[in-house]
Structures are given as structure tokens and as C-alpha cells.
Amino acid sequence: MDKFVINGGKALSGTVHISGAKNAAVAILPAVLLANEPCTIENLPEISDVATLLRAIKQLGAEVRSINKSTVEIDPTPINSFVIDKKMAEGMRASSYFLGALLGRCNRARVAPPGGCDFGVRPIDQHIKGFEALGAKVIIENGMVDARAAALRGCSVYLDVVSVGATINIMLAAVKARGLTVIENAAREPHIVDLANFLNSMGANIMGAGTNVIKIRGVECLHGTTYSIIPDQIEAGTYMVAAAATGGDVLIENVIPKHLESIIAKLVEAGAEITEYDEAVRVKMTGRPKKCNVKTMPHPGFPTDMQPQIATLLAIADGTSIVTEGVWDNRFRYVEQLIGMGAKIQVDGKMAVITGVEKLTPAPVKAVDLRAGAAMIIAGLMAEGITEVENTIYIDRGYENVAEKFQKLGAEIKRVPVLSKEANLKNA
């Protein structure tokens, strides 16, 4: 396990290139299973979640060929299994998408339940509701979710909560089902549109992705395609917040500015100067951030996956800000780490009251999950002196070459291996 050692207190400046979107990649890779020809996926982020998914796809029997660091060719035709067991799913956060993809491919899926960052309970009842509406029988036994159907048939399904995962899983299962499937109260995130575009490029007939009603007319088969994944909205947002939080001036390139609207709006409210270009945004901040209130919501609201990062910026704002978490039950576990760095934050259920302090002070902290880890890096860059961020494993799940990208912006950050107690004794 590694840690990041950061010598903070310097304003970031320069240009950062954003990688492909994690949450699109982890849906599109399982979706390849639905094709009856090889597919080439471009602009894949080099992150551990992608590596884990590719391993699982290989173990199912598919042929995976790496073309270059961000492109793979996958031939799903030799797949001979519908099982993702516990061992295979270990550390894999998007394992649930194999349920929809395998069900769509062979009317049968047996998948260990998904893990994921710990934000409280992470139910999949809406996924199951969708599979059942399509005609599948779903049981959970011996720690596995087992779904099977004689044939999947188009249906209408209303999601009781707006769920990214359920919307994606139902799309995957419905794309080859007979007839029309309508998902109402669907999630509208950019990665849902990307998945629909990918499936349509294979011959699927999906309309309405990006709105809250998605219509899927089932097709007999899906052919191969070459597809490039959209840029990562959250990676871009993380660098935007880091630029503002360090009083920097950074050009964030390879982004779709439309996907960043809510993040731009809040950063402008916090006093940043933002210039939008066709495929880039420039974030410049002078002086102390202003207080502002943020409430996370499904897209197009402010993304929950940007909540720890913006809260970290607001920790040094002039005044008191309120951050309300509108998606997850328990996404403030990182606050304790920030308090250790001098932040004044009080959490009451799904709300955090942040009284801005002049500056954060360095301290040893740890990433408690992926986005919390990104927030700890930002905090380390803000605080003058040495901050160590442990548990890089969480951050590596979703950020490509994070230390190198920050170094290019002038940050002093390096990855250092943490030796186990046994290794330390040996070296002593």
C-alpha cells in the first residue's frame, strides 16, 4: 500500500489533460458482452477499476487485447460462463453491471453482490425490480445474486429512486429483450448517455438517454463497434476545485464543459473566474474563496462525487457554508480527517456546517474512499508543509496518474511505498 507525500501551500498552474470517464468505462466494458463481434474501446482511463473489470471479462472467456494504454479490443464471442464469483468480484465496484449484461447476453447471470465505497447501505432493489419486470426470476442465495429468464420481454419500469446503477443495468438487460422497454424516472448522468451512444453504435435502439424517460426497443443482435469514452466529469471537477482551492490558474483540457455546469456555477459563486472553451475550462482564483451552500443531487444537480472536494475548498472560505448530501446516507466520513487539519466542520446527519478558517495545517490523513481521497490530496495541496495521505488504493480506483498530473501543475507530490510492519522489522 502506498501513500502520497505532499509539500503543500503552492498555487497550481499549467494545463492538465482529463482522462476517459470511470463511470462510463465501468458500464461500457460489461456492455461489450452483449455484442456478437469484437469491439474496440478507446479513451479508457488507466485506473484500477478498469483493470479489475478487464480481468473479470477475461475470466468469463472473452479475448482482451490491449492496443495501447487507453485502447482495448475485446472479443466476447468465446464467453462460456455467466458467473462472477466472490473472488472475481473482490475489489470490483461495478460488478453489478455484469448482472444486466450477462442476463441480456444469455438470459442467466450469477454475480456476487457489488461492493463499493462505504457511504451507508448500497441497495440494488431497483435493479432487481427492473430485471423482474423484464421477466427474470431473481434470487439471492449463498451470497450470490442469481437472475434467470426463459426470455426477456420489454416492460415499463418506474424507478422509485433515481439510480444510475439501476438505469444502466435495466438498459443492459433490455437492449436485446423482445419489444419496448420504458424506464421512467431514469438517471440522466453523462455516463448514461455515453452508454446509450455506445449501445446504439452497436445497433441498439435506445431513445431518450439524458432525459428521465428512456425508451429501448429490443433488437435481435448487436454488432461490433469502435467507441471512444467521454472525458471524466468528476476528474475534471476535482482538478477545477484543486486549482481554485490553491489560488491557482489552471487550464483543464479534454472536457465537455456542458457536463461541468453545476461545478462551474458553484466555483463562480465561491469567487473563481472561469473561462469556457470548446473542450477546455480555465479556472483562476485570487484571494480567499467566498462561502456558498451546496446540495448534491442526481444530474444535472451538483454531483455527490464532487461533495468532499468542494467541502474541502469551503473549509477555507470567508464565512459559513452549508453542504447537504442529497444522494448518499453517509458521505461525510472524511470530515474527521479535515478537522485534523484544522477545519471547522460540524456534521448533522446529511448536512455539514463549514465555518471557514484562514488556512488548513498539514497532518497525516487517510483516504476513506475514492472521492474523499481526492479531497485529502486537495487539502494537502492547500496546507503549507508536509501532508501524508494514506490508502492510495482508493484513489487509484478512479484517478489516472494523479501524482504525475498534479506534478505537471507545479505541485510537490510523490507516491511513497508504505512498508508493512514485517518489512520494516526486516529493514531495521
Catalogue the active-site residues: 117
Which of 11, 35, 54, 117 contacts ligand EPU by CB under 6 A? Answer: 117
Is the four-CA dihedral 228, 230, 232, 237 of positive or negative sign? positive
The grid coordinates of residue 377 equal 490530496
Q: Where are the alpha helices (DSSP H) in 115-248?
A: 125-133, 164-174, 190-201, 233-245
- 23 touches ligand EPU (CB under 6 A): yes
Looking up cell 467541502, which residue turns up? 311
Instruction: Give CA–CA dist 194/171, Å, rounded.
Output: 12
Instruction: Give CA–CA dist 200/195, Å, rounded.
Output: 8
Residues 366-385 that bind ligand EPU (CB under 6 A): 370-371
Cβ distance to ligand EPU smaller for residue 198 or 248: 198
Cβ distance to ligand EPU smaller for residue 127 or 291: 127
CB of 49 to ligand EPU, least distance (A): 8
Cβ distance to ligand EPU smaller for residue 362 or 398: 398
Sequence-distant (≥ 6) Cβ neighbours of residue 398 within 8 angstroms: 22, 45, 47, 49, 234, 235, 370, 371, 374
Instruction: Give CA–CA dist 188/428, Å, rounded.
Output: 55
CB of 26 to ligand EPU, least distance (A): 5
Q: Which residue is nearest to ligand EPU (CB)?
A: 165
- 255 touches ligand EPU (CB under 6 A): no
CB of 367 to ligand EPU, least distance (A): 11
CB of 408 to ligand EPU, least distance (A): 23
Is the four-CA dihedral 296, 299, 301, 303 of positive or negative sign? positive
- 125 touches ligand EPU (CB under 6 A): yes
Binding mask 212-251 for ligand EPU (x = CB under 6 A): ----------------------------------------
Q: b/e per residue, 316-344, with b = 16+ CB within 10 A? A: bbeeebebebebbeebbbbbebbeebbbe
Cβ distance to ligand EPU smaller for residue 89 or 370: 370
- 53 touches ligand EPU (CB under 6 A): no
Instruction: Give CA–CA dist 237/299, Å, rounded.
Output: 14
Largest CA distance in the chain: 68
Residues 74-103 that bind ligand EPU (CB under 6 A): 93-94
CB of 386 to ligand EPU, least distance (A): 27
What is the size of the binding site for ligand EPU (CB under 6 A)?
A: 24
Sequence-distant (≥ 6) Cβ neighbours of residue 142 within 8 angstroms: none
SS3 41: strand
Cβ distance to ligand EPU smaller for residue 249 or 305: 305
The grid coordinates of residue 2 equal 502506498
Which of 305, 325, 390, 400 contacts ligand EPU by CB under 6 A? Answer: 305
Binding mask 134-173 for ligand EPU (x = CB under 6 A): ---------------------------x-xxxx-------
Residues in contact with ligand EPU by the rule CB under 6 A? 23, 26, 93-94, 117, 122-127, 161, 163-166, 187, 304-305, 327-328, 370-371, 398
